[in-house]
Amino acid sequence: MIKAVVAVISGMMLLVTMVVSAANLPREAAIPGGVVLVPIVSTSQAKPVVKYGKKQVAVVESDNQWLAIVGIPLSAKIGTQRLTVKNAGKTNTVLFDIKDKAYPTQHITIKDKRKVNPNKLDMTRINAESAKIKSALRYWTERDTLPLEFAWPIEGRVSGLFGRRRVFNGQPRRPHSGMDIAAPTGTEIHAPAEGIVRDTGDYFFNGNTVFIDHGQGLVTMFCHMDRIDVQAGQAIQQGDVIGTVGMTGRVTGPHLHLGVSLNDARVEPRLFFPEREAVAGDEKEAN
């Protein structure tokens, strides 16, 4: 059950409760780093334009209604959030709530100290790379549908969960924006869904990286690769090999960093993928 409060231009408030099909949709988690499914009431058949803050969000048709699929950044404040909906020349507001989630802290030792405290030359490189990464993650490709039936890119042990507060060599850093799957160097990485390779590169922290644009602000990110087998602008299908697992960038061993970005918010990847059986050695959720 999804609840949304809709405020029309006149200021009238209506409580709308709607049931949407879960088929082919990401699982909902109304928390920082989660995904919220918000039904959009519309009097027009035209697809509405929905924004969360200044970012446009994905809108799909599900069970004969419009549905906004909203990525919630880890930095989001707890409580009521606001969507702006433009449709048929009118602007409405939809409100929804998110609750808190306590992500645990992970302490990691990095042997290459420059990967924790970059020098001046490193920072020049990092700043240039940051602009390129942001461009790939913020790219908007308009399309009527979204390929939401994701398939896991590799099999392996989960060595790092999303949202962990990272402490490198005793120094706090940004939370983990994806999930890590440990696998031997050379393991093939498969595209989770169809899309366009928006960019590739060798980055200071992320190592060899591929960004796949699936449309409407949904982008998957693959880091620390040993080999990249695709190039920017290339159309790919689900299951295509995009490269291999490696240990480039800031790593402690071979693994794939799998990230999912939705309306430029890094969100929990597992919400988009089939639930998997636990593997021996998986990192566990904190109680």
Residue type, 25: L
| pLDDT value, residue 55 | 97
**pLDDT on residue 280:** 73
Of 194 and 113, the structure prediction assigns the larger pLDDT to: 194
State yes or no: pLDDT of 15 exceeds 50: no
pLDDT bin (cut points 50, 70, 90) of residue 4 is very low
The pLDDT score that the predictor gives to residue 172 is 65
The pair phi, psi for residue 128, each rounded to 5°, is -65, -40
**Mean predicted confidence (pLDDT) in 89-102:** 92
pLDDT at 111: 78
Minimal CA–CA distance to 96: which of 48, 52, 63, 42? 52
**Cβ atoms of residues 150 and 193 within 8 Å:** yes
Which residue did the predictor score with more confidence, 131 or 173? 131
Q: What is the per-residue pLDDT for 3?
A: 41
Q: How many CB atoms lie within 10 A of CB 173?
A: 14
The answer to whether domain 105-271 has CATH 2.70.70.10 is yes
CA atoms within 13 A on the CB side of 65: 16
Give the pLDDT band (50/70/90) at residue 106: confident
- Is there a shared CATH topology between the 2-98 domain and the 105-271 domain? no
Mean predicted confidence (pLDDT) in 34-41:
95
Mean pLDDT of 153-162: 93
How many CB atoms within 10 Å of residue 5?
Answer: 15
Q: For residues 128 and 226, what is the distance between their CA atoms, to the nearest angstrom?
A: 22
Give the pLDDT score at 5: 41
Q: Residue 285 is encoded by which pair of tokens?
A: 């959720």
- Confidence band (pLDDT; 50, 70, 90) for 39? very high
Q: Which of 14-28, 126-140, 169-183, 240-254 has the lowest mean pLDDT?
A: 14-28
Grade residue 114 by pLDDT with cuts at 50, 70 and 90.
Answer: confident
Please state the CATH superfamily assignment of the domain spanning residues 2-98 in this structure. Answer: Peptidoglycan hydrolase domains (2.60.40.1590)
Q: What is the mean pLDDT of residues 192-220?
A: 97
Q: Residue range 112-133: average pLDDT?
A: 87
pLDDT of the residue at 252: 87
pLDDT score at 16:
33
Structure confidence at residue 22 (pLDDT): 47
Long-range contacts of 14-20 (CB under 8 A, 24+ apart): 16/41, 18/65, 19/63, 20/62, 20/63, 20/65, 20/67
List, for residues 125-155, the tens digit of each pLDDT value.
999 999 999 999 999 999 988 999 999 999 9
The domain segmentation of the chain, as residue ranges, is: 2-98, 105-271
- Whole-model pTM: value is 0.87
SS (H, E, C) the chain: CEEEEEECCCCCEEEEEECCCCCCCCCCCCCCCCEEEEEECCCCCCCCEEEECCEECEEEEECCEEEEEEECCCCCCCEEEEEEEEECCEEEEEEEEECCCCCCEEEECCCCHHHCCCCHHHHHHHHHHHHHHHHHHCCCCCCCCCCCCCCCCCCCEEEECCCCEEEECCEECCCCCCEEEECCCCCEEECCCCEEEEEEEEECCCEEEEEEEEECCEEEEEEEEEEECCCCCCEECCCCEEEEEECCCCCCCCEEEEEEEECCEEECHHHCCCCCCCCCCCCCCCC
